[in-house]
Structure 1
Amino acid sequence: MESAFIAWLRDHLPPHPLLRLGPGDDAAVLRLASERDIILTTDLLTDGVDFELSACEPSQIGRKAVAVNLSDLAAMACQPVAIVVSVALPHAGAGLLARSLYHGILELAQKFDVAVAGGDTNTWAGGLVISVTALGQVTPRGPLRRDRGQPGDHLLVTGQFGGSLLGRHFSFTPRVHAALLLHRQFELHAGIDVSDGLSLDLSRLAAASGCGAAIALETIPIAPAAVTMAAREADGRTALDHALSDGEDFELILAVPPADAERMLDRQPLDVPLTRIGRLVEQPGLWQVTADGSLSPLAARGFEHQ
């Protein structure tokens, strides 16, 4: 199966100017004619934890496996360059499953001009496991980190939040182009992508920066899917609860100096809205801004691997 699949993959990979030697040898060869730093990130997705193979198309899984890595690169405002993909396939129908996975992988790789440099495949008695490692290159302004926020920074987010399980966790667009544009045109102090939940990931950015975060709950941009989930489920969670904790929105949270935040909000330079939801504060922790302007503790909720 492996030899036939590699042959199929080589036939379907488009040429890429940075890829000197791709799948089929012991390792890939990339030519990076730059002194800028290289960024590496990896994510592993497992059947039964991150997706249900029986309930979706394999191409959706392949696309998502690439997209979550590109979202990590977007969070650091760097340019994606290449990916390597490793897959453990169930024995039954392994060849067909691999090709279907790669339809989704190649779709997103081509959209973001990312070289598919190689990887590994194997079969086993368990469920589908796919791991993607992405390589990116920082811009001349350097990487956007999560530990450089400062008290007084305004907190801006892209897009909307909540209800991703209704489909958006497969179809989201990594905010690579948005991050690169904003990093180029404005001063950004810190950033993170929302994979595990808006409140949880915001608390992580604040903690990494050695400060706290205060948000005005009425400003949170709530996705229509969050409203739908709140209406259909009997657990008592509101649409706002879903927006704060569902995760897999893969939007960006940015800590921005006040003057640049005002410019960003006035210009709205992206094809998705930018919304101010709060600010970084000196008091550690996550806080809700109440009606009288005081701060009340807010629980950070979301998905955490056990």
Structure 2
Amino acid sequence: MAGPYSPPISLAEIDAISNLREGIRKLRELGIDHAGVKNKDDVVLRLRKFLKLHGVGVAEDPLNAAELMADALEEDKETRQQLQQLYEGTIKYISGLPERRRDDLNQNIPRVVERLRESIEELSKSESGIFVAGETGAGKSCLLNLLLGEDLLPTDFFSCTAVLCELRYGDQRKAVAHFWDTSLQPVTLDLEVPDPLKVLKPYIFQEEGRGKKEFPYNRVQLFWPIPLLQGGVYIMDSPGIGESEMMTKLTKSYLAKAFSFIYVINSMVAGGVQEDRVTLIAILTSFLKHFMLMNNSQ
């Protein structure tokens, strides 16, 4: 009787790969195509997909990514409902205060009731955003590919992006590019083509004058049929926290609505996270319940 299937490589061995040369050698040993592999992250992604095709990894994790996401969303929904009740109770309490007390309160906290009602409206929305940021070359694209379970993004995809990239579920592959000038209508792009990145490039990449020359677009929504993004989940990537005043302000407005925040660093490259980012990140994420700092070298 045959024993249990033993894969030619384990998850622990994949995580132990230290450089590109070692990774290429392992790909060749296993007969895995290594065309297009540029770095260690590409190697790890291909080896993990290899194990997934052989049924490895599923049994090791009692909950898959979709189930974990569903649990997190249910917890988030309960928290939103609790906050709505708290805000509604606060509004009721304020309305019962003497007029002089209400005036004093509005002087200290302008538009307090209006702001509470705006917050209630935001909390009533079923969407849950996962915000991802990191230093250039830290491995955000690789991380997102692993989370999404698909080679959706080239590993250098975010290295030159000048806009917020928002990944959402869609039955058809398309993109919607939004202008800084809100008087202009967004541009819809058909991505059901052999090379969708070529179509996207003029709307997301700024290869010259980045941070100095004005770029007409501030946000691009990518719609893709990925199960993990069903149920109101979306992933938002920032081109760089602290990179420009306008983009930092826009980033802050989206972080205020985020369900969680992931910051990716690579401690092996130029000292990892830049010192001037630490304080800003701490301020922007101080109100979030779910915050992850991920080191690519791990």
Shorter-chain TM-score: what band? under 0.3
TM-score normalised by the chain length of structure 1: 0.23
More helix by share: 2
How high is the TM-score relative to the length of structure 2?
0.24
Structure with the bigger percentage of strand: 1
